[in-house]
Structure 1
């Protein structure tokens, strides 16, 4: 067995059986001329180790081959991951930029569902290089900058990886590996259509090779339509009408008077999700280039570079009172009540006050700006990166690899919001009529509508040097070492501002931050038993140890070790295990957010009923945004696994891995509710603070509100000072089992496969703050404890077909969810989708040579995700997955 075959076999032990032809089919397939395809012998670096031509010791690797990538029909890199159950953010999910979440513009994948309020717990790489972060108010890498057409394979290591890679590799590592070379010209494209939806993409790639190297260039254009809530019946409003629908509602106490009639009566049901986008429209242009050049007998230069530009446009529903919607509620008083008394109710006097039966001169008026406000939500990303790698043979079997990277991203976001202060002023002067907003003179709304804008630029500079080779020989084989050093510099320049009136800039909060990381690492692999000294019951035994030291310029240093063991008692059984520590650093947006500020909010007595308000007008002083005192999230991880290649049935294999993760110092937001006054959160709240205490805590943070001194009178001051910035709060303990069974077999002239692969979370316990009691959150909305894909397919001649059944398990709700509209809900159903793939290769000559047609049918049975009465993820009515609906995707591919 040659080196290439050996490493591929090691990878294959953890491979998922996905849509399309398997790796084994690809290797054994016959070309049209009848000759077997020839494998090229080349050195391979597998994700999870820096030792060449070896699988990572004690660790499972889940690969996707190029054939499997093509079979997904993916138009972006995130969609490639949609068939991998361990990628909880992608499996049975719609991956779309949620423009309603201001400042969130990236789709960073998430292994093990370990995402937190800050940082990233999954490391995303391209050819072993970190990808430049992007965003405003947040920062994370987006693999969609990599066109799927240039992918050679994808490798996922669902184990802690900080001992080699540093920050973020807590849940694991996802490495997108691009093609080494392209010969000739390739054209590929798709057109997809579904209910009120379309998507299309075009990929053009050209490449050539010469005696000492090769190069290629690839261009991708992709676009998709938007999907509104009204386009999918599973998207619906679950909360009762809050009065913002239609013409609005006047409330006196709990009695509702729908407008315009102002006759007391029940509120009709409405749906404020109809005009909000579930999937925004999007266009993307990407250019990707690759160059490989021999600089001598012992030196090779590889360069990869990309540029991408993405524009997304979503819509908010004007009747929605949240998530960027234009629904508003104001307290208005009659002139008889007077301005001073009205302020005690948090309201404003309206000259055109219209009394209704039973009121005493004070009303709550709910209305919306439908037809007046711009409901668009724009999110644009522009990014480039260049990643050279220099490889040199330096004597014996030792090799030096020097990796460099420079990248920059620019993110621009825009949406129109309502500015409460000029809104109240316009009502007080009579310019804005809350009973009939549509009749308001548009000029009166110039200051009410705020164009909220964000602009962010992020930069990455990365240099790494690795040397690896054999130290000495043992009876079981050569002891190999990889060691190196790395330097990372990240910078962020963000600004968030608003235009309150045309031509006038409102508050602008610029932030410029950077940090550098200096690191050293080493990995040692020791073959105790190998082919030369194998004996009965021990065919091989390999140990590994790795460790990495990272010194951050902002929060200090951290050291993370890892140990691994792989043991083969028989040729067909492999046992493996590993134990280590991992971490992820708080992002620059966590520590230096451009929205860092403080402001006042009306205090509510129910926040702490044991401490009554001195006066109804008392305020809370709230501090939000970045926290320069954040530390890293830290994790202890270990796993045990078994791989079996059945000797009694060729082509049958089984793999199972138990994993255990304990994450501490989880970055999260303290709850801005009654909970924040509990003893556990005492350090984040100061009750009845003095003026000196408020000024000391706020420091130089921008303050938006009335003068602090004016909050104090002879009898009372602010009710509380709350620190609502991100903090290192809680802990997460999670364990589970990954599994994979596959069977490849021949019948007649066809090759077939069947398999099942998935992950089962055994427990997930969360402590909201260090030292608090752990709570079982395994059966919670949005998180299934069992996800798997069952796949079957085959190839006969030039026809390939496959089917995949994707399952996310349902769960009970304890206690039951009780809502006024839907009554009691005791469980959430499972979500099952069926995906089909068909491919036909024309093995002809001329125009039909190397021409193929594909058809993907996603969610072929048009299944809806299960209903959840409390809503989920910004849109309402569903959970445990999402879907575009049934989608037909036609594809064509031609090589010249």
Structure 2
């Protein structure tokens, strides 16, 4: 049997290989039976469900728990982190994605609306969010809805935004922070998050909430309706959410000049008035501008500095309207039909940075000014901001997703059951950029010899018609993904073992993915357009066995219970070959109240469809002019040219080996108390990385030596070749001193080790109500990363933009009659900002959230108050600013704080009402 992922074209018949392994597992368990048999008909042991059980109203005696395909079987060897309905209602977050980011195992790295500088951020041009378990990567976590895959979102169809499901429609969320490719296939490297929908409701529920912070507001309104009848049910929910943008001008700690905080001055020199740079010497243009007659006012080695990014939004305005429906109907005895669907439409709008560029001004320009003593007969560069000339470049867009899953649950003889389902989903995303700089028109205007139409960047007025021409560049990036998935699964008992029945699940899946994308760029009156359609087919087979080896009927001293689980899955991709992944799990109960569990498995992630097939030819891709923090000049900004090629046909699947060992302890001497501790290790190879959005990459230049990703002072011939091959975003400097290849490559390798821990205690009192105390957190012991093949493994634990050593969340809940109150304490430890020189120690952060609910029906006997709940909440109760981080601003975060770990919004006060009819 394979013990590691085997990626590539398999010899022989790989499907038969999977079946053979499944048969081998069956035979192995069958061979165990006589050896441990103590009776012919031992009773079936109840499964040890580690996740929260399904609520009573769901009426599902044998539900499928995340992490297993077998009914009534919790994932053997792996723990489940569960957010129940009460947890969701207690959260002060306005979206499902924000609720999940409260879980310590979830990091806000990469695909996020306010943090886009890490893995996956470059492709997130419509400002979605994704689940990133343990911070290993947003593509390493698989997001499911009711146990099945959903259509991916984004202009490249790369990730799933959990907020496609409104929080009002969620019954619970189950998270397996363990490799699960043997169960679910690609992407389940760090784990799985399963969004489980509400069903079997018999009421109408309406809720509204409004929240406010300084310079920011948010709102939510929704309704849920359900009805049950004999043999069926329908539940539907709609929800509207909105939050405003947060502008950099509204937060004092967000600035380019960090000297007042003990940091550096990272302001730009692309200002209004600007700076003349000639022969390497800078001359600050004075207020009011400069002309040939006043050239004597220019002083060498002077610079104007400005804070262009201060005017940008830290995150965009977002508005979403969503709807979800679940339907079940028993058609006849033993056959049930189900249909679940959702639709969501999200729009966003962002005010990005002020338009600015380094402009090459020829001597023929009628406004050309040569500083005294500067060499004659030389073109010069003017670092210039169009703050006073042009409207800001507006980024806006939308995302629309619709999906429907239908199927049948069919009872079979001998307590077997089969499920047949078909999923069809479609996502359409569009990112728009308005009022961008027209590189060709700027060059023409600078070379114009007519004073009435030439571009003046020396501080004088400009012709409105000229300004209109140089700011008429548009960018439209549409993307459409259609997802089809047909699956059949059967599960049930095979034969009796001494401790219960050996149970199995087998199944097949067939996925079709079609993504169409492209780009429209150029002048609004004559843009160029390209579009490409790419497809992928995935055929999969899987098998799983659950064997209760020891139970109440044959318990031994020190072994009251022993459960084994084995799963295997084979996936064949139409474009990247095939992979075969097993997983093994064991649960051992030495005595009542203590469970020891362990797991081993291999996982994989197929390259993104656009990564390997791409949108380059006629589609998306091009060159971007970006500002990079350069440690060789004290962290100041250097203008660089970056390639976004979009694809790499030589990419291979990412692979991982995962192991875990944990305990669950419910001490007999301490009632209603449970402790959990899990040790995990993840070896992750061939990670696909791209550095298009990483504006701090120069801090790791030494580690990337030999890869060709960073080129200092590239040759003019090379730059000319790039400019001839790809379209350009923004104005290219006359002399390009930095080139960064941002195309995806199999470069990364990481090793992650650490502990997940949890504790809960419930206390009941006669006079003071009931109390619940909870703790959940992650403690990393190792995170080492090799940035390129052959590069050394470098310890990155507890450094900026990498996993922290400790993240934890403590909660206390009080229930007393009509009152319910909760206090949450969120903690992240201190860490190193090694992007600063010398390395900065960033302070730890502790914030408090408060939530209060009051059942008004208990206080007012009138019918209007029945089932009416008033709620109030405060996020960041003491309005604590994020810890200071000495890092330059960028369009992807930074500028005095770390957006991947802290929220710049500050204290959010909210009030709400919920009414059940």
Which TM class, normalised by the smaller chain length? 0.7 to 0.9
In 2, Cα distance between equivalents of 1:398 and 1:660: 36
Do structure 1's residue 497 and structure 2's residue 514 form an aligned pair? no
Map 1:596-745 onto structure 2 (within 5 A). 624-669=645-690, 680-681=706-707, 703-704=725-726, 724-745=742-763
**1:723, distance to aligned residue in structure 2 (A):** 6.5
Q: Does the aligned pair in 2 maintain the 1:82–1:90 contact within 8 Å?
A: no
Q: 1:184 to 1:102 in 2, by over 3 A?
A: closer
Say if 1:398 and 1:97 are closer, same or farther in 2 by CA, change over 3 A.
same
Q: Does 1:881 align with 2:902?
A: yes
Q: CA contact under 8 A between 2:663 and 2:678: conserved in structure 1?
A: yes
C-alpha contact 1:4 1:43 (8 A) present in aligned 2: no
Report what 1:612 is aligned to.
Answer: none
Following superposition, the deviation at residue 402 of structure 1 comes to 1.4
Q: Partner of 1:847: helix, strand, or coil?
A: helix
Q: Which of 537, 545, 549 in structure 2 is aligned with 1:524?
A: 545
Change (3 A) 1:74 1:5: farther
More strand by share: 1
**Structure 2 counterpart SS, 1:561:** strand
Q: Does 1:465 align with 2:488?
A: yes
Structure 1 residues 489, 523: closer, same or farther in 2, change over 3 A?
A: same
Counterpart of 2:285 (choices 236, 258, 273) is 258
Q: Residues 102, 353 of structure 1: CA spacing in aligned structure 2 closer, same or farther, 3 A cutoff?
A: farther
Offset of residue 51 of structure 1: 1.0
Counterparts of 2:739 and 2:380 in 1: how far apart (Å)? Answer: 30
Judging changes above 3 Å, is the alpha-carbon distance between structure 1 residues 527 and 288 closer, same or farther for their aligned structure 2 residues?
A: same
The structure 1 residue matched to 2:240, chosen from 221, 227, 231, is 221
Match of 1:298 in 2: 334
**1:863 corresponds to:** 880
Match of 1:358 in 2: 373
Q: 1:69 aligns with which of 75, 79, 88?
A: 88
Q: Over residues 371-416 of structure 1, what are the superposed CA-to-partner deviations in whole Å (9 max), with x where a residue is unaligned?
A: 5134211020111000123211111211101122100011111113
Q: Are residues 1:828 and 2:811 paired?
A: no
Q: Which residue of 1 aligns with 2:410?
A: 392
TM-score scaled by structure 2? 0.82
Q: CA deviation at 1:219?
A: 1.5
Following TM superposition, by how much is the alpha carbon of 1:759 offset from its aligned partner in structure 2, in angstroms?
0.1
Name the CA shift for 1:40/1:489 in 2 (closer, same or farther; >3 Å). Answer: closer
Q: Match of 2:442, SS?
A: helix
SS at match of 1:778: coil
Residue of structure 2 aligned with 1:307, choices 340, 343, 346:
343
Conservation of the 8 A alpha-carbon contact between 1:509 and 1:595 = no
Q: Structure 1 CA distance, aligned partners of 2:535 and 2:489? A: 25
TM-score, normalised by the number of residues in structure 1: 0.84
The match for 2:136 among 111, 114, 124 is 114
Aligned counterpart, 1:414: 432
- What is the CA–CA distance in structure 2 between the aligned matches of 1:96 and 1:332, rounded to whole Å? 36
- The alpha-carbon distance between structure 1 residues 677 and 145, as it changes in their structure 2 partners (threshold 3 A), is closer
Measure, in 2, the Cα distance between the counterparts of 1:79 and 1:316: 23
The answer on whether the counterparts of 1:243 and 1:258 sit within 8 Å (CA) in structure 2 is no
Shift, 1:279, TM fit: 2.4
Structure 1 CA distance for aligned equivalents of residues 115 and 209 of structure 2: 18
Assess if the C-alpha contact under 8 Å between 1:420 and 1:448 holds in 2: no
Q: Which residue of 1 aligns with 2:76?
A: 57
Compute the RMSD of aligned alpha carbons. Answer: 3.5
Give the number of equivalent residue pairs: 811
Q: Give 1:334's aligned residue.
A: 363
Residues 232 and 327 of structure 2 are in contact (CA less than 8 Å); yes or no, is this contact kept in structure 1?
Answer: yes
Quick one: distance in 1 between partners of 2:601 and 2:498?
28
Change (3 A) 1:628 1:689: farther
SS at match of 1:74: coil
Q: 1:528 to 1:600 in 2, by over 3 A?
A: closer
Q: CA 1:474/1:640 → structure 2, altered by over 3 Å: closer, same or farther?
A: same
Corresponding residue of 1:287: 323
Q: Pick from 573, 577, 586: which aligns with 2:607?
A: 586
Among 853, 864, 870, the residue aligned to 1:839? 853
Contact 2:58 2:199 in 1 (8 A): no
- Equivalents in 1 of 2:246, 2:796: separation in Å? 31
Asked if the contact 1:804/1:834 (under 8 Å) is kept, the reply is yes
Alpha-carbon contact 2:811-2:824 (below 8 Å) kept: yes
How many Å apart are 1:635 and its aligned residue?
0.5
Instruction: Specify whether residues 440 and 367 from structure 1 end up closer, same or farther in structure 2 by C-alpha distance, changes over 3 A only.
Output: farther
How far apart, CA to CA, are the structure 1 residues paired with 2:94 and 2:333? 39
CA 1:86–1:591: 2 relative to 1, 3 Å: same
Partner Cα separation in structure 1 for residue 703 and residue 62 of structure 2: 59
| 1:804 aligned residue (817, 824, 830) | 824
**Structure 1: how far apart are the matches of 2:251 and 2:470?**
36
The corresponding residue for 2:352 is 316
Structure 2 equivalent of residue 178 of structure 1:
197
Shift of 1:694: 13
Q: Per the alignment, do residues 670 and 236 of structure 1 end up closer, same or farther by CA in structure 2, a change over 3 Å counting?
A: closer
Partner Cα distance (1:62, 1:439) in 2: 61
Q: Distance in 2 between matches of 1:654 and 1:729?
A: 39
- In the alignment, which residue of structure 2 is the partner of 1:404? 422
Question: Counterparts of 2:873 and 2:247 in 1: how far apart (Å)?
Answer: 23
SS at match of 1:446: helix
* SS of equivalent to 2:152: coil
Cα deviation for residue 751 of structure 1 reads 1.1
Distance in 2 of aligned mates of 1:857 and 1:7:
40
* CA separation of 1:8 and 1:175: change in aligned 2, threshold 3 A: farther
Partners of 2:50 and 2:79 within 8 A in 1: no
Change (3 A) 1:837 1:682: closer
Contact 1:476 1:527 (C-alpha < 8 Å) held by counterparts: yes
SS at match of 1:531: coil
SS of match in other structure, 2:652? coil
CA contact (8 A) 1:330 1:366 kept: yes
Q: How does 1:83-98 map to 2 (within 5 A)?
A: 83-89=102-108
* C-alpha displacement of 1:474: 0.9
- 1:622-663 per-residue CA deviation (whole Å, 9 max, x = no partner) reads 682211221111101100001100111101211000100011
Change (3 A) 1:90 1:669: closer
Native 8 Å contact 1:79 1:90 kept in 2: no
Look up the match of 2:503: 480
Match of residue 189 from structure 1:
208
Q: Secondary structure at the match of 1:73?
A: coil
- Change in Cα spacing, 1:60 to 1:601, as seen in structure 2 (3 Å) is closer
The one of 547, 556, 577 aligned to 2:577: 556
d(CA) in 2 for partners of 1:42, 1:601: 56
* Change over 3 Å in CA distance of 1:7–1:201 after alignment to 2: farther
Q: Which runs of 5+ in 2 are unaligned?
A: 1-42, 258-264, 291-297, 633-639, 729-735
Against the structure 1 CA distance between its residues 234 and 682, is the aligned structure 2 distance closer, same or farther, given a 3 Å change threshold? closer
Measured in 1, the distance between the counterparts of 2:312 and 2:122 equals 9
1:330-364 residue CA offsets vs partner (Å, 9 max, x unmatched): 132424xxxxxxxxxxxxxx232112222224432
Partner of 1:712: none
CA distance in 2 between counterparts of 1:86 and 1:471 reads 37
- Selected match of 1:242 from 240, 247, 268: 268
SS of 1:273's equivalent?
A: helix
The Cα shift of 1:8 comes to 8.4
Residues 367, 437 of structure 1: 8 Å contact kept: no
Partner of 1:546: 567
Indicate whether 1:377 and 2:395 are aligned: yes
Q: Secondary structure at the match of 1:631?
A: coil
Q: CA deviation at 1:686?
A: 15
Q: Which moved more, 1:770-779 or 1:368-377?
A: 368-377
> In structure 2, do the counterparts of structure 1 residues 678 and 161 end up closer, same or farther at CA, with 3 Å as the change threshold?
closer
Instruction: Determine which of 518, 528, 531 is the counterpart of 1:510.
Output: 531
